[in-house]
Amino acid sequence: MSSIPLSQLTTLPTYNSTTTSRLKSLYSDFTFQKQSNPTSYTSNVEWWRHTLEAVLLRGWLSDPHGSGAAPDRLVMHAQGVGLADRFRMESVGKPLSIPTVIFELCNSKALIPLSDFLYASRSIYDPGWLPYRIASFVVGKPLWWALGQLGIVDSHGTAFGDSGTAERWKKVRGDYVAVSLIEAAADRIVDRQRQKSTGQVADSLYSVESFRAEFADCAFENATLSGLDIKVVLKYLERDKGVLVVRGEVIKFVDEGTAQTTEVTAVDSGILALKSSVEKLQAHIDGLQHRIDQHTQQISNALRQKRKETALTYLRARKQLEEVLKKRLGSLELLQSTLLRIMQLYESSTATLREILAHPLLQREKIDETMDAMAAANADAREVDDAIQMGAEMAQAETAVDDSELEAELEALVKEVELERTQAQRDQLGADELRTPMHTPSSAEASMSPDREKVPVAL
């Protein structure tokens, strides 16, 4: 990995307030200062904690030649000396004590190994939670003594003993969750959820995809959470904050501290399915409306250029889009009314579940209609593309578009464009030089004029 540009590093608070001589001390191997100068040792570790967190949050630790996906901002990947190379500076070289810093931050739980964080069943704030409770097998003996027996520290409590840099990296290599960053991200997500919630049960339900769409950009300013960040945040919000429950692809916000006693029911899953269908259908409708607006502009441009056949083709395409839009709006209305009714019944009391199941839309004779609406809402995007594609298919008879109506509409558009052109010419030449004609030739007369270009019209 290449180093972070000096121009970026110097924008960090920890760098722009530090002298070159101080940087040399911070970049040196201060591992053995733990015993000889504990104050300086603690200060150096704290400086590096703030620096690593700031750089991680900005996404500067990710490979600049990556696939373009959002960089991880909550998980630091310490895969060896490459991490130290990211901080290389001409005047001071590269830092030698980052393995020591990582060790100390893990010891203080400022960093937690990713695997331990994701798979631990107890909260990280539980005094009994210590995935790296290496000394638990030595009852009554000091932690540092036990670490020394495992070769992680020496008998005097110095991290890594007398091992070299390469050996130290082997012992700390891995992925780590930055606890302070995940706490900040979680707080902002919870605040956002409280602000947007209207009290309806649907507001508390998300799929993993919709959760990411809703919250990935709100955790930090000008920073988007990655897929791994979202996974880590969900685990923290469920296990450590107790504000949501995750069951498969269903995410449900609950009152704080009640996550352990709250279940995701079949009704929750059904409501989420309806909510997701409504959101996807709304996105399709927005796309259709955008395409219709584009075709309207294309029709106008074609008429100004006297390309009547092209304008007619665009008009046919717009008619097709409008037909699809009409059907989608009908499906959306049905789904929204069904979702609203179910939420109203669900929120009244758990005792109303029988009433929900007795709703007319859920009866046997109505189930086909409801399922058809949901199927339409979940139709593959290719169905919409096939319905709105331009080309030969649009000119076929099954389009069921009345050519006479198209001709009439196109003729009206032509007159409107001609009127605009005439008005523009008058404005250009000046009113004093113009004489209003006593007779305006009709369309038939105009078409008989030898000087007028004849425009073929496809019927």
Predicted confidence band at 190 (pLDDT cuts at 50, 70, 90)? Answer: very high
- Is 60 exceeded by the pLDDT of residue 211? yes
Residues whose CB is less than 8 angstroms from the CB of residue 217 and which lie 6 or more positions away in sequence, other chains included: 223, 224, 225
Q: What is the pTM of this model?
A: 0.66
The secondary structure element, H or E, covering residue 167 is: helix 165-172
What is the CB-side half-sphere exposure of residue 153 using CA atoms within 13 A?
Answer: 22
Residues whose CB is less than 8 angstroms from the CB of residue 353 and which lie 6 or more positions away in sequence, other chains included: 267, 346
pLDDT for the residue 40: 93
pLDDT for the residue 339: 78
Q: What is the mean pLDDT of residues 395-412?
A: 57
- Is 90 exceeded by the pLDDT of residue 91? no
d(CA 186, CA 253): 13
Q: What is the mean pLDDT of residues 420-442?
A: 60
- The more confidently predicted of residues 443 and 327 is 327
Q: What is the mean pLDDT of residues 17-28?
A: 91
pLDDT for the residue 137: 34
* 3-class DSSP state of 75: strand
Q: What percent of the chain has pLDDT over 90?
A: 33
Q: What percent of the chain has pLDDT over 70?
A: 67
Q: What is the mean pLDDT of residues 189-194?
A: 93
Predicted confidence band at 308 (pLDDT cuts at 50, 70, 90)? Answer: confident
Over residues 222-237, the pLDDT tens digits come to 889 999 999 999 999 9
pLDDT for the residue 116: 93
Q: Shortest CA distance to 35 belongs to which of 157, 153, 149?
A: 157
- Is 50 exceeded by the pLDDT of residue 118? yes
- The more confidently predicted of residues 179 and 165 is 179
What is the CB-side half-sphere exposure of residue 138 using CA atoms within 13 A?
Answer: 13
- The more confidently predicted of residues 197 and 174 is 174
- The more confidently predicted of residues 353 and 295 is 295
Q: Shortest CA distance to 244 belongs to which of 225, 260, 224?
A: 260
Whether the Cβ atoms of residue 214 and residue 204 lie closer than 8 Å to each other: no
- Calculate the average pLDDT of the chain: 77
Over residues 35-64, the pLDDT tens digits come to 889 999 999 999 999 999 999 999 998 764
Over residues 326-376, the pLDDT tens digits come to 888 888 888 888 877 777 766 665 455 545 555 665 555 555 666 666 565
- The more confidently predicted of residues 119 and 257 is 119
**CA Rg value for the chain:** 34
- Is 60 exceeded by the pLDDT of residue 130? no
- The more confidently predicted of residues 279 and 384 is 279
pLDDT for the residue 398: 42
Predicted confidence band at 174 (pLDDT cuts at 50, 70, 90)? Answer: very high
- The more confidently predicted of residues 193 and 375 is 193
pLDDT for the residue 375: 62
Q: What is the mean pLDDT of residues 2-8?
A: 87
Whether the Cβ atoms of residue 43 and residue 137 lie closer than 8 Å to each other: no
d(CA 367, CA 264): 24
- Is 70 exceeded by the pLDDT of residue 1? no
- Strand-pairing partners, residue 252, are 205, 245
Residue 275's CB: how many other CB atoms inside 10 A? 22
Cα 381 to Cα 25, 192, 289, 318, 401: the distances in Å are 59, 31, 15, 18, 23
- Is 70 exceeded by the pLDDT of residue 390? no
Q: What is the mean pLDDT of residues 66-80?
A: 83
Predicted confidence band at 437 (pLDDT cuts at 50, 70, 90)? Answer: low
Alpha helices in 216-363 (DSSP H): 227-235, 266-304, 308-348, 353-357
